[in-house]
Amino acid sequence: MNRTIKSSVLIFCMALCSNVLSAQNESWTRSYPAVHVIGSLYSVGTYDLSVFLITSDEGHILINTGLEGSTEQIRENIEALGFALEDVHILLTQQAHWDHVAAMAEIKAITGAEMWATKDDARVLEDGGFSDAHFGGEETFEPLAVEKIIVQDDVIELGDIRLTVHDHPGHTEGSSSYSMVVEENGREYDVLIANMGSVNPGKQLAVDPTYPGVAADFAHTFTDQKTFAVDVWVAAHAIQYGLHDKWQPGQAYDPDTFVDPAGYLEAVESHENLFLQAMAAERIE
Ligand SMILES: [Zn+2]
């Protein structure tokens, strides 16, 4: 593509993409029932935007929100499971993009929970998305304070929850995954709440990178993610982990429903291939 056309496409895309901030995808707001994934892990988000609840007798952890206005949907799903939103004590995110954190400030105010985040996602949470390397330069969600910075290998403990933090940067500078071991019916399951290394349209990796080191971050994430022995996995978007292929509303709980080690590896490799293609495309332009 020649440079002038490319920059007009880019400007058009930037205008369009900031409209995307409010225009949104219908599947991001469509309500969807709560899903018992495995053990104390539940999905309580919308049709496509994943919100995860991990419960304990001493309070719960909530990972991600949906768009602004998603709080009541999340509350209804949590209550349908017999839990209370007000019992959430720790808030986490997988990536500080508006589609996953825009209701976080409101949920924090309702629950009084602490927000814990990686250093780079904390910066973006605290300035409402302004310093996001790709979508920044404007506030894209209500800012909120972060009480605690989490780092690689931290184990988040609440009641009997033991949730390990994994730095999986690239999609955002501070993107993270979380893992835990769940015991069900005498079997141990390795569970990963994965942040997939997807490359947003318009993101620059190799040439004039969106942020310094972005390509190395993605490469690290794919290398690390391929080392995980995963039984059950879920991700920030339902479509990424095939929620709607694996489970239908009304389906009875079975700890094996989301067992999918091969699908996990395939998904990581397919994201890596898309990343490599995007890198190659920048180099030949
Ligand atoms: Zn994102």
pLDDT at 276 over 50: yes
Side chain identity at 36, as an amino acid letter?
H
Best CA proximity match to 82, nearest among 60, 103, 64, 104: 60
Best CA proximity match to 122, nearest among 148, 99, 102, 157: 148
pLDDT above 90 as % of the chain: 87
The pLDDT assigned to 24 comes to 58
Structure-token pair, residue 250: 């009304």
- Determine contact, residues 164/154, Cβ cutoff 8 Å: yes
CA of 7 to the centre of ligand 1 (A): 23
CA of 237 to the centre of ligand 1 (A): 9
**58-79: pLDDT as tens digits:** 999 999 999 999 999 999 999 9
Q: What is the CATH number of domain 25-284?
A: 3.60.15.10
**124-179: pLDDT as tens digits:** 999 999 999 999 999 999 999 999 999 999 999 999 999 999 999 999 999 999 99
DSSP of 260-277: -HHHHHHHHHHHHHHHHH
Structure pTM? Answer: 0.91
CA of 99 to the centre of ligand 1 (A): 7
The mean predicted confidence, pLDDT, of the chain is 92
Domain segments of the chain as ranges? 25-284
Alpha helices in 43-136 (DSSP H): 71-80, 98-101, 104-111, 119-126
Mean predicted confidence (pLDDT) in 250-258: 97
CA of 85 to the centre of ligand 1 (A): 24
CA of 225 to the centre of ligand 1 (A): 18
**6-57: pLDDT as tens digits:** 333 343 444 344 444 444 589 999 999 999 999 999 999 999 999 999 999 9
CA of 198 to the centre of ligand 1 (A): 8
- Alpha-carbon span 225 to 55, nearest angstrom: 25
CA angle 248–48–178, rounded 5-degree value: 95
CA of 97 to the centre of ligand 1 (A): 5
CA of 214 to the centre of ligand 1 (A): 14
CA of 4 to the centre of ligand 1 (A): 28
CA of 20 to the centre of ligand 1 (A): 12
The three-state secondary structure class of 102 is coil
CA of 136 to the centre of ligand 1 (A): 12
The pLDDT assigned to 177 comes to 98
CA of 61 to the centre of ligand 1 (A): 21
CA of 123 to the centre of ligand 1 (A): 16
- Alpha-carbon span 156 to 169, nearest angstrom: 19
**160-173: pLDDT as tens digits:** 999 999 999 999 99
Mean predicted confidence (pLDDT) in 210-235: 97
CA of 269 to the centre of ligand 1 (A): 18
CA of 82 to the centre of ligand 1 (A): 30
CA of 204 to the centre of ligand 1 (A): 15
CA of 93 to the centre of ligand 1 (A): 11
